[in-house]
Amino acid sequence: MAKSQLIKNIVQQSISIEEGLERLLVISYPLDDQDIKTWIIHELKGYSKTNRIPSYRQNPNYEIKYSGINGSFKVEN
């Protein structure tokens, strides 16, 4: 499959992101780029505790305090 067709399919949402990543993995094999292959595999199967999680996958922690019946609450970062 041509790279441009893969991009078109993802943008038009005619394939899932998962299917797009699987196709990208196949396309990337001739490139012999281990970093991109590792990234794709982690995106498909998840990151383990020993892997560095990309910043776009990290969620900030917020503490929410509810103060009773009136419904007021406080969010702290």
Range 52-59 average pLDDT: 82
Of the ranges 1-5, 32-36, 43-47, which one carries the lowest mean pLDDT score?
1-5
| pLDDT at 22 > cutoff 90 | yes
d(Cα 4, Cα 45) in Å, to the nearest integer? Answer: 25
User: What b/e string do you get for 13-29 counting C-beta neighbours within 10 Å, with b at 16 or more?
Assistant: eeeeeeebbebbbeebe
pTM of the model: 0.63
5-14 confidence digits (pLDDT tens): 888 888 889 9
Helix (H) or strand (E) holding 5: helix 3-11
